[in-house]
Chains A and B, each alone.
Chain A
Amino acid sequence: MIDPQRCLFHTGLTSIQGPLIFVRNAQGVGLYERVEVRAMHDDVRLGRVVLIADDKVIVEVFQGTEGLSLGEARVKFLSESILLNVGPSMLGRIYNGVGAPIDGGPEIVARRRLRIDGNAINPVRRVVPREFIETGVAAIDAMNSLVRGQKLPIFSGSGLSHDRLASNIARFSRLRGTQAEKFAVVFAAIGVTFDTAEHFRREMDEYGAMQRIALFLNLASDPSAERLLTPRVALTAAEYLAYEEGRHVLVILTDMTNYCEALREVSSSHGEVPSRKGYPGYMYSDLASIYERAGRISGRPGSITQIPILSMPNDDITHPIPDLSGYITEGQIVLDRELDRRGIFPPIKLLPCLSRLMNHGIGKNMTHVDHPAFAQQLYSSYAQAHHLRLLSSVVGEEGLSAADRQLLRFGERMDDEFIRQDDFRRTLEETFDLGWMLLAELPDEVLVRLSDDQIDEHIKRHRHDS
């Protein structure tokens, strides 16, 4: 309930530092309460209370403090958390970074007002994600399978084609063996350029998918502190769509690196003790409060699957942003500059990729009984090929044995035929077929991850064909 007494405007600003304003004589204010700040010309900016010491309050202003002055700025405390209006007809719309429609359409008819910070799902109410999603991308489906309710980020670099891959996944994804279900995409642009957001929108429009999409845009030109809200707003909308409307929601967050930069900026203005590379020590918990909102809940029909995209600064996977993300998310898809230069799309670098939930969603009755061994063998042989490639660059191919040369060839064909697929969808059956065919080129003695029966069933057939 909004207490009218408390809605009075305060003018007691004592200091403005970066995104923070310091207010005096504010009584009865609550932690993380929503704040409206008005400059002279009456534009309302959103903020929240981050520290209270007696009647002195520090407010974080999400939409910049430019143009505010100590004497004239007015602050209004609203005695409630930051909320998002959610209701039917949220899809097919475009919103700004704090969740207000910017496509010229009507306001959202609010069925509920939800806290954008969300609450943690009680672990006992979670359902283990195990419904295999066919993404149509061979390197993901066969070797790093995605399941509903998972959070699987794409670790990319600046200039790589992560957005194209993400929109392909959004277009191709389907569950096997079921007809079209209630499916939705929530796309949150966090500090990306207008082109990127527009490109995604056009892609979806072209495939007639726009009616299933909600776009939240915080563009590169928008205030950086607002980026702290955008993923939370988008996920709140996704939670409504999933848990109240029963949809299966795919949330694409791009680019989480910009989010982390904003976090660092705000943290340093607080004067907090920094951890690695100046990022705040709580960045792990903060990222977790976003990523952990993926999942399924027992007794509720929908699900939230997340594909956060982050560009690794300097392509460095040990940088705190990908590093901490990798510790929270359930695996990662890593893109590679070398493959990209060779013109291979999607440029997925298989070795560092991983899907932790894969084993829950593949195998008997789900994909194929031999899928686990198949993926293991592809990985093991590809890793060997990779090792030999490094070796042969030093000692030359002549220094390798005949079996090693076969492995080397296998590695090349994996890159050129298996990983490369351009913008075409590949069904799981096509992916299996291609993989077994490539493995059939290798002698039995290197196929130690396959049982004799598996070799008889899958490998011999392809050898026979050729």
Chain B
Amino acid sequence: MSRAEVFLINGPVLKARPDGNFQMKEAVFVGDDRLIAEVIRLDADAITVQVFEDTTGLSPGVLIAGSGLPLAVELGPGLLGAMFDGIQRPLRAVAGASGDFLGTAVDVPSLDRERQWRYQPVVDEGTEVSGGHCIGEVAETPNLMHRVMIPPDVAGTVVWRAPAGSYCIDTPLAGIRSAQGMVEVSMLSRWPIRVPRPFRQRLALRSPLWTGQRIIDTLYPIAKGGTGAMPGGFGTGKTVLQQTLAKWCDADVIIYIGCGERGNEMAGVLEEFPGLEDPRTGRMLMERTVLIANTSNMPVAAREASIYTGITMGEYFRDQGYDVALFADSISRWAEALREISGRLEELPAEEGYPAYLPSRLAEFFERAGRTKALAGQESSLTVVGTVSPPGGDFSEPVTAHSRRYVKSFLALDRDRAQARFYPAIHPLQSYSEYVTSTAQWWQHHGGVRWAERRERMLALLQEQARLEKMVKIVGRDALPPSQREVLVCAEVTVEGLLRQSAFSHTDRYCAPEKQAAMLGLIDYFTQRAHELVQAGVDPDTLLTLPVVRRLQRMGEDIDNESLADFADLTHALDDALDALASSMQQKSGEQQAVGE
């Protein structure tokens, strides 16, 4: 193996004189402690590496050993329910080996080698197989059948196969005679993190990633296989929203990456997820989740690697035929890690000190999302949603601006809403989604018959509200004519009744499609009736004092997913109250007419 001798140490960046051949992005090991590092630059007489662990105490003269292979992750049963750091060290096993604090140099494999899994072969000897072909299955959790696949670059005939039984992940389970010779396949495979896994073809996006959050599903859907960004200043609820999506969205597998964020938050996820049930399968949410935690005080180079580690795992489950959703919190911290390493390499900075290749790296990352037909033909998807933490909440900064170029669902979080404890604090007018037309068809089959039309009406209402609010600031609300005050009243009821959703209320935290459709329908109906009444002379502000309108504004929390009949009751109550208002109005105007005569 090639070797190199370190002569420069600058934080996580080392330079060394090579003896032998090194490749770009090759994984290397530093010193006797075998710190994990990666080659990031090659010169005639020096190699530059970034170290993913603490470099305190390193001295010149330390040897770097090459591996000849790019930095890769281990893939196989044991990923689900585990928590890894940015370079896939299993944090539970690390804690077992080195205690409560993260030291350096712990040699534990990413996936447990001792554990045995029940394996069931699904191919016979003599079968012709190629990359992506499933040769056997492992029930990794009661709800997820882990499919053991032929590596993408292998094709040939199954010469022998192991019978059903319990095996460790590195036990060979089948032998394939291929053009390159005999290949043994086990449950364990490896894949370089910076190389997208291959698939047969990309497919058009069709259905939404169901999140159970009204402002997303009803207003700005994210398609399965699509991309989304959630930018917002600190305290606008990015992380809570991201975690809410990770809890309730209808993907089969969740990859949650805490990239440069808080340790207590990851502890929160670890504590909360195992106790929460998936509303669809009734299983614990942790069973479908892989956590990657590289908190803000863990080594910065591993933070840079963490999102690639995560997305490679996501692609692996996608290739097995599952819908995967990946949540990265936060893209900005990843970009900052890139900036920090770039600064140490003394590269010429572009905007705000970020390297000039930031946009292309972002594009590469988001392009790994998609709905695909796998090599073996299964249709599945990988959805990528990232939070963005713009400095000072300024959306014109490079990371937000460039993310915006590559994502199609943009959910802008708004500080004013968050300060009023209005959650989710997504600003309905600054956000957008390009998946509206592709998901409209889906809604037709899920109770939202007139979804597209109602959604558009609602957006127009909110737009008009924003315009009128500006006028109110100048002339006061009372100076507006009733038709305009009607807009304000209807918009307020829409915002409180439909868009506000409590992540901490057991009834409200997950909103099923039928409930969302019913709520949207009811709000739309209220808006129409209000319009008729105001036309007939009712003062719009009296509508707000009706007890039934208060019920309308609280329906998300008061009516649960199973009690759809309550919406019919609420509609009747609304009708009764509004009819009463109308008839009292008629009476009054009748009296006035009588007086006039």
Given contacts A120-B102, A281-B340, A292-B297, whether A328 and B558 have CB atoms under 8 Å apart is: no
The residues of B with any CB-CB pair to A shorter than 8 Å are 7-11, 54-61, 83, 91-92, 94-95, 98-103, 233-235, 239, 258, 260, 262-264, 266-268, 270-271, 293, 295-298, 300, 333, 336, 339-340, 343, 346, 349, 352-353, 389, 391-394, 415, 418-422, 472-479, 496, 504, 541, 544-545, 547, 549-550, 553-554, 557-558
Report if A427 contacts B (CB, 8 A).
Answer: no
A391 touches B476 (CB 8 A): yes
A28 touches B352 (CB 8 A): no
Which residue of A is nearest B394, CB measured? Answer: A318
Per-residue CB proximity of A414-456 to B under 8 Å, as 1/0? Answer: 0000000000000000000000000000011100100100000
Interface residue total, chain A, C-beta cutoff 8 A: 85
**Beta-carbon contacts under 8 Å, A354-382 to B:** 354, 356-357, 359-360, 372, 375-376, 379-380
Q: B234 CB to closest chain A CB, in angstroms?
A: 4
Given contacts A274-B353, A276-B391, whether A121 and B101 have CB atoms under 8 Å apart is: yes
CA distance A331 to B394 in the complex (A): 19
Residues of A close to B504: CB separation below 8 A: 359, 372
A327 touches B102 (CB 8 A): no
Residues of A close to B94: CB separation below 8 A: 122
> Which 5 pairs show the lowest CB-CB distances between chains A and B?
A399-B476, A318-B392, A288-B296, A383-B420, A395-B476
The total of interchain contacts (Cβ-Cβ below 8 angstroms) comes to: 228
Given contacts A31-B9, A51-B9, A81-B57, whether A448 and B419 have CB atoms under 8 Å apart is: no
Report if A205 contacts B (CB, 8 A).
Answer: no
Residues of A close to B99: CB separation below 8 A: 122, 125
CA distance A275 to B397 in the complex (A): 12
Given contacts A128-B264, A281-B353, whether A121 and B100 have CB atoms under 8 Å apart is: yes
Report if A11 contacts B (CB, 8 A).
Answer: no
Q: A210 CB to closest chain B CB, in angstroms?
A: 31
8 Å CB contact of A33 from B57, B268, B349, B554: B57
A282 touches B268 (CB 8 A): no
Besides the contacts A123-B83, A399-B476, what 13 more A-B pairs have beta carbons closer than 8 Å?
A: A29-B60, A33-B57, A54-B7, A121-B263, A126-B267, A276-B391, A281-B339, A281-B343, A292-B296, A298-B100, A351-B420, A376-B421, A451-B557
Which residue of B is nearest A126, CB measured? Answer: B267
A288 touches B297 (CB 8 A): yes
A126 touches B496 (CB 8 A): no
Q: B212 CB to closest chain A CB, in angstroms?
A: 19
Q: Which residue among A29, A81, A121, A292 has the maximum number of chain B CB atoms within 10 Å of its CB? A: A121
Which residue of A is nearest B62, CB measured? Answer: A30
Report if A272 contacts B (CB, 8 A).
Answer: yes
Q: B358 CB to closest chain A CB, in angstroms?
A: 12
Residues of B close to A384: CB separation below 8 A: 420
Given contacts A281-B343, A379-B421, whether A399 and B477 have CB atoms under 8 Å apart is: yes
CA distance A323 to B421 in the complex (A): 20
8 Å CB contact of A391 from B55, B102, B296, B473: B473
Given contacts A292-B296, A327-B234, A330-B262, whether A125 and B100 have CB atoms under 8 Å apart is: yes
Given contacts A125-B95, A281-B353, whether A292 and B295 have CB atoms under 8 Å apart is: yes
Q: B178 CB to closest chain A CB, in angstroms?
A: 41
8 Å CB contact of B270 from A124, A299, A390: A124
B266 touches A123 (CB 8 A): yes
CA distance A394 to B226 in the complex (A): 45
Report if A191 contacts B (CB, 8 A).
Answer: no
8 Å CB contact of B61 from A28, A53, A121: A28
Report if A149 contacts B (CB, 8 A).
Answer: yes
Residues of A close to B300: CB separation below 8 A: 282, 285
Residues of B close to A273: CB separation below 8 A: 343, 346, 349, 353
A285 touches B235 (CB 8 A): no
Given contacts A28-B59, A30-B58, A31-B9, whether A285 and B340 have CB atoms under 8 Å apart is: yes
B101 touches A122 (CB 8 A): yes
Q: Can you offer 6 A-B residue contacts whose CB atoms are under 8 A?
A: A54-B7, A125-B100, A288-B295, A323-B234, A356-B239, A451-B558
Residues of B close to A52: CB separation below 8 A: 8-9, 59-60
